[in-house]
């Protein structure tokens, strides 16, 4: 299926037309590298996200510049740390960030996405089908998905505090899997809370990347948990 094919017409929520050329230009302005082919598929993704965002309020980042400067930036920082051919599960994907963007940027990966909210999972499935992505969508809690899968890497962004998330992944540590979390400026406070509560006991947590986001104070980080 072509990335621009869709079962329903896309309704754009802004006067700015979303095109691959526009996203490629914005990426260059922010010092990000995407190919022209990736930019076309990302534009089709953003169009479909706008369609669903009018119905489910999935994200505040459905306009091109905000999408590039926040979601694409975070996803590119993440994919730089994903090994070739890895099996990846993105948790709490919502509108598809970072899971679907990762799948677009790195077709060598086996990507699945998970959201326990049925309407969000249905939107994810529609976007996946519209773009022709080889991505499995789970409309379940991650705690119910992980014991049935052999996942190498779990990813998450803006899903919850570290203290809340760690117990979800109890079933994967013995498999040698790891968790990559994209966190904002409060990550050190969250880590301290997890250590105080005991949920981080026995886990190795390290910051493996950090970056600044335009228009935001502090830094975003990528945490690896094993």
**Is residue 162 in a domain?**
yes
What is the percent of the chain where pLDDT is above 90?
A: 83
Whether a cis peptide bond, with omega within 30° of 0, leads into 98 is: yes
Q: Measured in whole angstroms, how far is the alpha carbon of residue 142 from the centre of its chain?
A: 15
Using CA atoms of 106, 95, 148, 195 in order, give the dihedral in degrees to the nearest 10.
90
Domain coverage including residue 118: 69-225
**Is residue 77 in a domain?**
yes
**Is residue 39 in a domain?**
no
Closest CA to 112 of 141, 89, 84, 134: 89
Q: Is the per-residue pLDDT at 2 higher than 70?
A: no
pLDDT attached to residue 172: 94
**Is residue 204 in a domain?**
yes
Q: What are 108-163's pLDDT values in tens digits?
A: 999 999 999 999 999 999 999 999 999 999 999 999 999 988 999 999 998 999 99
Confirm if 109 and 102 have CB atoms less than 8 A apart: yes
What is the C-alpha separation between 74 and 157, in angstroms, rounded?
9
**Is residue 202 in a domain?**
yes
List residues bridging with 87 in a β-sheet.
110
CATH number of the domain that residue 109 is part of:
3.40.50.150
What is the C-alpha separation between 95 and 99, in angstroms, rounded?
9
∠ Cα 71 73 78 (to 5°) = 95
What is the C-alpha separation between 223 and 150, in angstroms, rounded?
21
- Mean pLDDT, the chain, rounded, equals 91
pLDDT attached to residue 13: 42
**Is residue 27 in a domain?**
no
Domain count across the chain? 1
Q: Is the per-residue pLDDT at 3 higher than 80?
A: no
**Is residue 63 in a domain?**
no
Which tokens sit at 91? 């948790």
Residue 57: pLDDT band (50, 70, 90) is: confident
56-60, 92-96, 110-114 — which is least confidently predicted? 56-60
**Is residue 148 in a domain?**
yes
Mean pLDDT across 52-80: 92
pLDDT attached to residue 17: 83
* Owner of token pair 């980042």: 61
Q: What are 17-38's pLDDT values in tens digits?
A: 899 999 999 999 999 999 999 9
């Amino acid at each position: 299926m072509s990335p621009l094919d869709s079962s329903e017409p896309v309704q754009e929520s802004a006067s700015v037309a979303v095109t691959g050329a526009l996203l490629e230009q914005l990426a260059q302005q922010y010092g990000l590298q995407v190919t022209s082919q990736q930019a076309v598929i990302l534009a089709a993704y953003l169009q479909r996200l706008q369609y669903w965002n009018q119905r489910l309020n999935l994200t505040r980042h459905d306009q091109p510049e905000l999408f590039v400067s926040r979601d694409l930036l975070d996803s590119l920082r993440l994919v730089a740390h994903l090994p070739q051919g890895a099996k990846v599960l993105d948790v709490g994907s919502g509108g598809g960030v970072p899971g679907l963007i990762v799948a677009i940027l790195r077709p060598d990966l086996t990507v699945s996405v998970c959201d326990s909210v049925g309407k969000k999972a249905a939107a994810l499935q529609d976007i996946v089908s519209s773009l022709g992505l080889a991505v499995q969508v789970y409309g379940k809690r991650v705690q119910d998905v992980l014991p049935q899968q052999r996942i190498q890497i779990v990813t998450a962004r803006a899903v919850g505090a570290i203290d809340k998330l760690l117990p979800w992944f109890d079933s994967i540590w013995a498999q040698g899997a790891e968790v990559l979390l994209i966190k904002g400026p409060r990550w050190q406070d969250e880590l301290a809370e997890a250590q105080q509560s005991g949920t981080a006991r026995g886990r190795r947590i390290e910051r493996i990347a950090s970056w600044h986001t335009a228009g935001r104070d502090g830094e975003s980080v990528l945490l690896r948990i094993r």
